[in-house]
Amino acid sequence: MNENKLIEVCTSCGRASCWYGEFLCNESKHTDTKLKTVKELRLLGLEHEENWSDEKLLKIYGESAPHGFVDPEGENKDLMNESLEDLLEQVFSGRYTPGPIEDVIRAKVRELRQSREPVEHGKTCCKVDHVGIGYLHDEKDDTPYDVFGCTYCGRCHTLLSPTKP
Q: Degrees (nearest 5) of the Cα angle 107, 112, 117?
A: 150
Is residue 37 helix, strand or coil?
A: strand
pTM for the structure as a whole:
0.47
Show me where the domains of the chain are located. 6-115, 120-165
Residue-wise pLDDT tens digits, 113-133: 666 667 788 887 777 777 667
**Residue 129 DSSP code:** P
Residue-wise pLDDT tens digits, 7-26: 999 888 888 888 888 888 88
Distance CA 97, CA 88 (A): 12
